[in-house]
C-alpha cells in the first residue's frame, strides 16, 4: 500500500485525559476508509487531527507526526488555511452558511481569490454534480441554502468541500442526522468519487462502513485495535474485540 | 426429539460474561438464540442422516423391505430439514445482518446442511442398489467388507457432528485422515468384486452393484470431510481443502 497519509505515534490529551494513546495508521491515496468504534473511542478526535481542527480547542496537547502527501502538517511552516483546502471536512450536522447555494459552493474559491465568473460557474456545476445534488438545485442556485432539506444541505456542504479540489475529504458521521434515502444518496456519491480522493469517514453505522469502505480501522478506548481491508475486518477480524464490537456484543 | 447442545467454545463463555458486565444488547440476544436453534436443528439433521446410514446398512445386510421403505421416508424428512435450515439461515442473515464469526457460523450451517443432505441421498442409493442384488449369488466376504466400510463412515459422521457441536477444529481436521481409510475399502471391494466376477460367472451381475455401493459409501466420507472443512472455516475464516493434499485459500 502506497501511503498518502501517514500518522505516527499520535498521543492527544484533553487536559489530563489521554484521548489518543499512540495511533499509528496510514491511508492510501485513493479510496474510502472507515473509522469505527464506540462513542468516546477517539475516532472523531483522530479524524480532526488530520486537518488540525483540534488546534481550536485550547486544552488540547498533541504529540506524534502526521505526513500528508509528504508534508508534515504540524510543521510551523504549515498554513492551516492551505491545509484545510487540501483536507476538507464534512460534519455530522449539515452546516451551510446562511447564503445562497451558489455562494456556499464558491466560498472557498472566493477566499482563494478566484473572481473569474466563468470558472466559478463551472466549479459550482461540477461540484454540485459530483455531490449528486445538481439536478435538485440547479434552478434555485441563488436561493438560500438553509431552505433545502437536511439531506440536500449535507450534499451542498460536500459540494462546498469538493469545489476547492481537495486531496482528502474527512467526514464525521455525515449521514447520522439524515433519513435513509438521503444517506443512500450520499453513500452512492462517495462511491462515485472514491477513485479521485482519499476519503476518511467516521461512522457509527457499521453496515455503512461495510457497504462502502475499502479499508476499516477499529478504535477502542483511544487505541487502534485493528486496521485492514474492510472485507477481512468484517468477515474475519483478527482481534476478538473487533469481532465483539462489529457483532454488537458490546457498544 | 431435541438435543440440548452447549457449544462449549471458550469464546462463547467469555462473551456470556461480557454481556453481563458490559450490559449486553437485546438484539444480540435474539441473534444468539436464533443461532442456537439452528445449531440444534443442524445437529438433529446430522443424527437423522446417521440413522439413514445405519438403516441402509441393515437393509443391505438383511434385505429387509420394511426397513428399506423407512430409509426412503426418512430421506424426505432430511430433505425438508435442509430446506428449513436454508430458509431460516437466509432469514437470520437478512434480518439480523450478522458479521464476522456469527456470519461464518451461518454460512457453515447453510453449506454443511447440503453436504448432510447428499449423504442421505447416497444412503437411499445404497437401498436401491441392494434391491438389484440377486440374493442367490451374494458374496459374504465382500459384503462383510462393505458393512465394515459403512460402519466406518457412520462413525465419521457421528464424529463430525460431535466436532460441530463442540466447535472442535482439531477433531474436524483429524477426520480427513479417517476418510483415507474409505479409499482403501473402495479399492479392496473393487479388487475382490473383479476377482469374484472373473472366477465365477454367477457374480457377474452382483459384482458391479458391490462396487457401486462402495462408491456410495466413499462419497459419504467425502461429504463428511466437506463438513469438517466448514468447521475449520467457522473457526478460522479460511476455506480449506482437507485430505491427502491439504490446501488453504483465504
- The reply to whether residue B101 touches residue A234, judged by beta carbons under 8 angstroms, is no
Per-residue pLDDT at B24: 52
CATH number of B27-243: 1.20.58.220
Q: What is the CATH number of the domain that holds A180?
A: 3.40.50.300
Q: What is the extent of the structural domain holding A191?
A: 3-246
How many structural domains does chain A have? Answer: 1
Asked if B15 reaches chain A (Cβ–Cβ under 8 Å), the answer is yes
Distance from CA of A236 to the nearest CA of B (A): 5
Q: Domain locations in chain B?
A: 27-243
Distance CA A235, CA A231 (A): 6
Half-sphere exposure of B26 (CA within 13 A, CB side): 0
* Of B19 and B246, more confident: B246
Whether A52 maps to a domain, the answer reads: yes
Per-residue pLDDT at B70: 96
- Residue A159: which of A169, A147, A172, A173 has the closest Cα? A169
B100: pLDDT strictly greater than 70: yes
Q: What is the mean pLDDT of chain B?
A: 89
Whether A251 maps to a domain, the answer reads: no
Query: Which residues on B lie below 8 Å from A210 (Cβ)?
Result: 99
Distance CA A80, CA A73 (A): 8
Question: For residue A160, what is its C-alpha cell?
Answer: 462546498
- Angle, vertex CA A218, rays to CA A93 and CA B110, nearest 5: 105
Would you give the DSSP letter of residue B62? Answer: H
- Angle, vertex CA B192, rays to CA B191 and CA B198, nearest 5: 90
pLDDT digits (tens, 9 = 90+) for A176-225: 999 999 999 999 999 999 999 999 999 999 999 999 999 999 999 999 99
Beta strands across the sheet bearing A3-14? A17-28, A3-14, A60-68, A71-72
Query: Which residues on B lie below 8 Å from A246 (Cβ)?
Result: 99-100
Whether A200 maps to a domain, the answer reads: yes
Q: Which sign does the torsion angle of CA B36, B161, A246, A158 carry?
A: negative
Per-residue pLDDT at A161: 96
Nearest to A237 among B22, B31, B100 (CB): B100
B13: pLDDT strictly greater than 70: no
- The reply to whether residue A235 touches residue B98, judged by beta carbons under 8 angstroms, is no
* Number of helical H runs and strand E runs in chain A: 10, 10
Whether A87 maps to a domain, the answer reads: yes
Nearest to B15 among A236, A237, A244 (CB): A244
- The reply to whether residue A235 touches residue B100, judged by beta carbons under 8 angstroms, is yes
- The reply to whether residue A236 touches residue B237, judged by beta carbons under 8 angstroms, is yes
Nearest to B100 among A207, A243, A251 (CB): A243
- Residue B123: which of B39, B62, B60, B197 has the closest Cα? B60
B8: pLDDT strictly greater than 80: no
Asked if B99 reaches chain A (Cβ–Cβ under 8 Å), the answer is yes
Per-residue pLDDT at B247: 60
Q: What is the ipTM for the molecules in this complex?
A: 0.70
- pLDDT digits (tens), chain A, 251 positions: 789 999 999 999 999 999 999 999 999 999 999 999 999 999 999 999 999 999 989 999 999 999 999 999 999 999 999 999 999 999 999 999 999 999 999 999 998 899 999 999 999 999 999 999 999 999 999 999 999 999 999 999 999 999 999 999 999 999 999 999 999 999 999 999 999 999 999 999 999 999 999 999 999 999 999 999 999 999 999 999 999 999 988 86
pLDDT digits (tens, 9 = 90+) for B27-52: 788 899 999 999 999 999 999 999 99
Per-residue pLDDT at B10: 39
Distance CA A86, CA A103 (A): 20
Amino acid at each position: 500500500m502506497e501511503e498518502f497519509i501517514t500518522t505516527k505515534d499520535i498521543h492527544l490529551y484533553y487536559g489530563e485525559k489521554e484521548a489518543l494513546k499512540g495511533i499509528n495508521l496510514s491511508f492510501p491515496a485513493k479510496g474510502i476508509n472507515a473509522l469505527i468504534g464506540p462513542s468516546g473511542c477517539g475516532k472523531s478526535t483522530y479524524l480532526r487531527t488530520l486537518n488540525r481542527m483540534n488546534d481550536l480547542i485550547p486544552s488540547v496537547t498533541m504529540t506524534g507526526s502526521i505526513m500528508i502527501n509528504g508534508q508534515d502538517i504540524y510543521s510551523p511552516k504549515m498554513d492551516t488555511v492551505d491545509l484545510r483546502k487540501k483536507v476538507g471536512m464534512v460534519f455530522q450536522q449539515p452546516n451551510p452558511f446562511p447564503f445562497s447555494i451558489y455562494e456556499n459552493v464558491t466560498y472557498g474559491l472566493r477566499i482563494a481569490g478566484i473572481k473569474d465568473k466563468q470558472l466559478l460557474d463551472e466549479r459550482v456545476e461540477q461540484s454540485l454534480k459530483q455531490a449528486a445534488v445538481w439536478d435538485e438545485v440547479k434552478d434555485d442556485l441563488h436561493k438560500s441554502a438553509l431552505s433545502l432539506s437536511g439531506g440536500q444541505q449535507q450534499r451542498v456542504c460536500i459540494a462546498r468541500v469538493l469545489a476547492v479540489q481537495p486531496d482528502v475529504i474527512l467526514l464525521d458521521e455525515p449521514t447520522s442526522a439524515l433519513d435513509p434515502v438521503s444517506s443512500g444518496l450520499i453513500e452512492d456519491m462517495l462511491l462515485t468519487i472514491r477513485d479521485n480522493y482519499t476519503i476518511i469517514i467516521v461512522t457509527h453505522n457499521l453496515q455503512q462502513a461495510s457497504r462502502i469502505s475499502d479499508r476499516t480501522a477499529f478504535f477502542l478506548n483511544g487505541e487502534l485495535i485493528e486496521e485492514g481491508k474492510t472485507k477481512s475486518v468484517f468477515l474475519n477480524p483478527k482481534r476478538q474485540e473487533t469481532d465483539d464490537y462489529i457483532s454488537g456484543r458490546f457498544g | 426429539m431435541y438435543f440440548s447442545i452447549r457449544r462449549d467454545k471458550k469464546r462463547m463463555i467469555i462473551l456470556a460474561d461480557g454481556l453481563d458486565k458490559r450490559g449486553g444488547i437485546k438484539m444480540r440476544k435474539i441473534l444468539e438464540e436464533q443461532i442456537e436453534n439452528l445449531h440444534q436443528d443442524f445437529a438433529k439433521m446430522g443424527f437423522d442422516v446417521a440413522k439413514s446410514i445405519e438403516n441402509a446398512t441393515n437393509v443391505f445386510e438383511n434385505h429387509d423391505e420394511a426397513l428399506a421403505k423407512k430409509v426412503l421416508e426418512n430421506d424426505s424428512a432430511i430433505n425438508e430439514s435442509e430446506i428449513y435450515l436454508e430458509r431460516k439461515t437466509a432469514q437470520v442473515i437478512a434480518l439480523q445482518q450478522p458479521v464476522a464469526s456469527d456470519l461464518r457460523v451461518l454460512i457453515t450451517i447453510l453449506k454443511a446442511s447440503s453436504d448432510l443432505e447428499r449423504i442421505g441421498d447416497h444412503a437411499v442409493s445404497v437401498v436401491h442398489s441392494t434391491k438389484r442384488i440377486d440374493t442367490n449369488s451374494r458374496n459374504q466376504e465382500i459384503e462383510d467388507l462393505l458393512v465394515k466400510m459403512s460402519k466406518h463412515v457412520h462413525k465419521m459422521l457421528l464424529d463430525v457432528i460431535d466436532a460441530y457441536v463442540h466447535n472442535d477444529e482439531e477433531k474436524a481436521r483429524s477426520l480427513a485422515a479417517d476418510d483415507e481409510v474409505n479409499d482403501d475399502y473402495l479399492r479392496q471391494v473393487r479388487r475382490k468384486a473383479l476377482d469374484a466376477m472373473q472366477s465365477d460367472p454367477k457374480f457377474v451381475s452382483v459384482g458391479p452393484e458391490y462396487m457401486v455401493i462402495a462408491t456410495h459409501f466413499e462419497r459419504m466420507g467425502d461429504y463428511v470431510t466437506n463438513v469438517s472443512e466448514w468447521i475449520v472455516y467457522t473457526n478460522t475464516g479460511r476455506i480449506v481443502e482437507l485430505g491427502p493434499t491439504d490446501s488453504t485459500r483465504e
